[in-house]
Amino acid sequence: MARRRPFNMPERRISRIGFGGARLGSISNPLSMRACQGLLEQAIDMGINLFDTANIYGQGDSERLIGRAVRGRRDDMTLVTKAGQRFSTRMRLIRPLKPLVRMMPRSDPATRRAIVQQRSQNVGKDFLPGSLVRELEGSLRRLQTDRVDVFLLHSPPLEVVQDPRIAETLAQLLGRGVTRKVGVSTDDADVARAALALPVVSALQIPMGLLEPLRSTVSERDPFLMARGIVGWRGARSVRQAFADAVADPQVDTALLDTTSPARLLELAGLP
């Protein structure tokens, strides 16, 4: 299958490897905030210009770090963020304590498991139209920009995607110019199909392993497709070979790398 034309948004080449910011600023991330900033600079120096984040990542610190990294070169970057998930009030109130938590011995597996468990127990969903608008506005402030390139619903259930108020809200955000594309990030094939049935949707983020059952739908709509979970999808291949295969897929616009390792970034240097 021939590679389709390069996707430009608006009129620049988007890197075939994108940086996934899920672990930036997280209390379970072994890197300091300064080291995270250095990792982002390394990615930019390598030619990566797409950065994927979400309002919930690092309790907003992922967006803050990316915003600082792209400051002064925003027009050369493609920013993707998500909304629909949020921490409980309790977790938001203890956010100022993150520097103290970072001093804990996170090398201890039990400590790391406890942190991840506590975080997962305090995450809820909120896809109300007003909440989505407010969350995107908060993301824009943290990213220090007046618009994102892609705004995604973050793991929405099927009934949310099928709610006509959601499509209307996404259309309104497009009309305001605060995002260039809207779509969903999902691990569910039915949710992906329902989203792509909406005329307003033109972006999709899915695990690479989910692409095969969705190929015909993706071919019909031709969304801006971000593939993640490449490391888990690789099987016996090396990480570099798996990413090379992912970006060679004609339906994949960008393969996302979620890492805290400078060495892993270097491993992918030179890929398209």
Task: Give me the helices (H) in the chain, please.
Answer: 33-45, 61-70, 89-93, 98-102, 109-120, 129-143, 158-161, 164-176, 189-196, 211-221, 230-233, 239-248, 262-267
Query: Counting beta carbons within 10 angstroms of the beta carbon of residue 45, is it exposed (0 to 12), middle (13 to 18) or buried (19 or more)?
Result: exposed
Q: Among 204, 179, 154, 219, which Cα is nearest to 10's?
A: 179
Can you read off the two tokens belonging to residue 12? 């620049």
**What's at 68, amino acid-wise?**
R
Q: Which DSSP symbol is given to 207? A: E
Can you read off the two tokens belonging to residue 17? 């490897």
How many of the other CB atoms lie within 10 Å of CB of 245? 16
Can you read off the two tokens belonging to residue 191? 């949710």
**Residuewise pLDDT in 10s, the chain (272 residues):** 344 444 446 556 899 999 999 999 877 777 888 999 999 999 999 999 999 999 999 989 999 999 999 999 999 999 999 999 986 656 555 555 555 555 555 556 665 555 555 555 667 899 999 999 999 999 999 999 999 999 999 999 999 999 999 999 999 999 999 999 999 999 999 999 999 999 999 999 999 999 999 999 999 999 999 999 999 999 999 999 999 999 999 999 999 999 999 999 999 999 87
Whole-number pLDDT of residue 29: 76
Mind listing the domains of the chain with CATH numbers? Answer: 17-267 (3.20.20.100)
Whole-number pLDDT of residue 201: 98
Q: Are 94 and 115 in contact (CB under 8 A)?
A: no
Whole-number pLDDT of residue 9: 60
Whole-number pLDDT of residue 39: 97
Can you read off the two tokens belonging to residue 81? 């963020």
Whole-number pLDDT of residue 184: 98
Report the predicted TM-score, pTM, of the whole model to 2 decimal places. Answer: 0.88
How many of the other CB atoms lie within 10 Å of CB of 175? 8
